[in-house]
Amino acid sequence: MNLTAIRAIYMFEMARFFRTLTQSFISPVISTSLYFVVFGAAIGSRIQEIEGVSYGAFIVPGLIMLSIITQSISNASFGIYFPKFIGTIYELLSAPVNFLEIVVGYVGAAATKALFIGVVILGTAALFVDLQIQHPLAMLAFMVLTCVSFSLFGFIIGIWANNLEQLQLVPLLIVTPLVFLGGSFYSISMLPDFWQTVTLFNPVVYLISGFRWAFFGLADFPIALSLLAIGAFTTICLAAIWWIFKTGWRIRS
């Protein structure tokens, strides 16, 4: 394992992040505040509690999950797309660096950025509601696993995309709706039976359920099922990346 190469890629990506630290810090704070104003005040005035948890606190795990998923995909996809766009990826491919070290560098940096945003949002949410995290280690584990798995997914999108429109297509039209419809701002048990069945085919719902359990001890599905879902998703992404580098799909052409 070439640790020097991993560190070089990681530090390069993190330097780009710190150059826009003010934007990276202020943007999630403002977005989280707006969500609390819109959902917490407007909807919270009609729904006081969900399963014994105040509505303002109930939506916090969903807000964090929404942000870290979108940030993980965005950071990882842009991180690998930009070298493709300007042609420097060929220098990387010709260097004595294998595909695993490239993936660890880019995905590690993207996951770190998303985790930072998640912590910022958690701190912002604590200013609005009284948060009591029952399982802090489980919460941190779910955040890290989610950041890593969706950074891997974003890495795949960055290789697949041929232009900036394609780079934003999957996050905007597929991932974000799945997060909103995955129980981010409501409990699955509140839905009619038919829509509860439909929701079972949304993979994001299992992540949000497990993450919410870490906060309040409440979950729509068993925790083992949530861990199985994120483990299966991570495995699929790793297999896809291995195939991409093995065949050179969208990289060497």
Q: What is the pLDDT of residue 253?
A: 62
Residue-wise pLDDT tens digits, 8-29: 999 999 998 888 777 777 777 7
Mean pLDDT of 106-122: 93
Check whether 110 has a pLDDT greater than 70. yes
| Closest by CA position to 72, among listed 107, 123, 119 | 107
Q: Which residues of 61-78 are buried (b: 16+ CB within 10 A; e: fewer)?
A: bbbbbbbbbbbbbbbbbb
Lowest mean pLDDT, pick from 67-76, 180-189, 223-232: 180-189
Q: Give the pLDDT score at 153.
A: 97
Q: What percent of the chain has pLDDT over 70?
A: 96
How far, rounded to the nearest angstrom, does the alpha carbon of residue 215 sit from its chain's CA centroid? 18
Whole-structure pTM value: 0.93
pLDDT at 145: 95
Mean pLDDT over 90-115 rounds to 92
pLDDT band at 45 (very low <50, low <70, confident <90, very high): low
Answer yes or no: is pLDDT of 244 > 90.
Answer: yes
- pLDDT tier at 51 (50, 70, 90 boundaries)? confident
Residue type, 44: G
9 Cβ contact partners less than 8 Å away, ≥ 6 residues apart: 101, 102, 105, 106, 109
| Contact (Cβ atoms closer than 8 angstroms) between residue 173 and residue 183 | no
Q: Is the pLDDT of residue 140 over 80?
A: yes
